[in-house]
């Protein structure tokens, strides 16, 4: 924040602009310049808050991956809601941007991520505990399902000759968890 007094409204407007650009133009289309232009602020206003486009994308998308896991008392319905919601998020533009940023961060000299990697690790642990309870084997399965959603995000897709995919993934995963 470079010692600058926070203006939460302005911060929010900049992050909204970043999310709009990621959704419509991908993470490559989300730069300090395009975000400043879309938010109608000088580039220096963005730079004073986030020192790089990686930091800006990190801050813009990490909160999307921390939405609460449902708890209605109906375990199976909650699991289905979570699978549907997280699979839609992970296989959509924000998931693809997140996968690009996460993979890039693991390369030598890749950018350090302040929020996204932690948010996704936390999510992985939370869903394991929420749906696996005290059963360590069930936790392993739930975490593997969560990992598989991310894996499909990078390995599968219409552009990889696999046809439409969103329709079949949660069903396959439900079977993996529930029929085992």
Q: Given the rule CB under 8 A, which residues bind a copy of itself?
A: 24-29, 93, 96-97, 99-100, 102-110, 112, 117-118, 120-121, 124, 137, 140-141, 143-157, 159-162, 172-173, 175-176, 179-180
Q: How far, in Å, CA of 112 to CA of 110, rounded?
A: 7
Q: What one-character DSSP code corresponds to residue 1?
A: -
Could you tell me the smallest distance in angstroms from the CB atom of residue 160 to a copy of itself? 4
Nearer of residues 49 and 54 to a copy of itself, judged by Cβ: 54
Pick the closer one to a copy of itself by CB: 6 or 107: 107
Cα-Cα-Cα-Cα torsion 173, 144, 105, 3, nearest 10 degrees, comes to: 90
Which is closer to a copy of itself, CB of 14 or CB of 98?
A: 98
Compute the least distance from the CB of residue 19 to a copy of itself, in Å. Answer: 14
111: left (phi over 0), alpha (psi -120 to 50) or beta: beta
DSSP codes joined into one string, 26-78: TGGG--HHHHHHHHTS-HHHHHTT-SSHHHHHHHHHGGGGGPPPP-SS-HHHH
User: Which of 40/108 has CB closer to a copy of itself?
Assistant: 108
**Shortest distance, CB of residue 102 to a copy of itself, whole angstroms?**
5
Q: Which pair of tokens denotes residue 113?
A: 């991520």
Min dist. Cβ of residue 52 to a copy of itself (A): 14
State the minimum distance, in angstroms, from the CB of residue 121 to a copy of itself.
6
């Amino acid at each position: 924040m470079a010692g600058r007094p926070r203006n939460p409204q302005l911060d929010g407007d900049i992050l909204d602009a970043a999310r709009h650009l990621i959704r419509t133009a991908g993470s490559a289309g989300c730069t300090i310049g395009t975000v400043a232009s879309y938010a109608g602020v000088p580039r220096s206003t963005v730079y004073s808050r986030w020192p790089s486009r990686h930091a800006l994308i990190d801050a813009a998308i990490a909160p999307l991956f921390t939405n609460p896991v449902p708890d209605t008392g109906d375990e199976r319905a909650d699991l289905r809601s979570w699978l549907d919601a997280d699979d839609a998020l992970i296989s959509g533009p924000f998931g693809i941007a997140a996968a690009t940023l996460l993979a890039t961060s693991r390369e030598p000299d890749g950018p350090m991520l302040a929020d996204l990697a932690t948010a996704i690790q936390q999510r992985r642990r939370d869903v394991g505990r929420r749906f696996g309870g005290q059963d360590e084997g069930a936790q392993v399965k739930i975490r593997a399902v969560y990992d598989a959603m991310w894996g499909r995000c990078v390995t599968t897709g219409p552009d990889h000759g696999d046809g439409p995919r969103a329709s079949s993934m949660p069903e396959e995963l439900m079977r993996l968890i529930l029929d085992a």
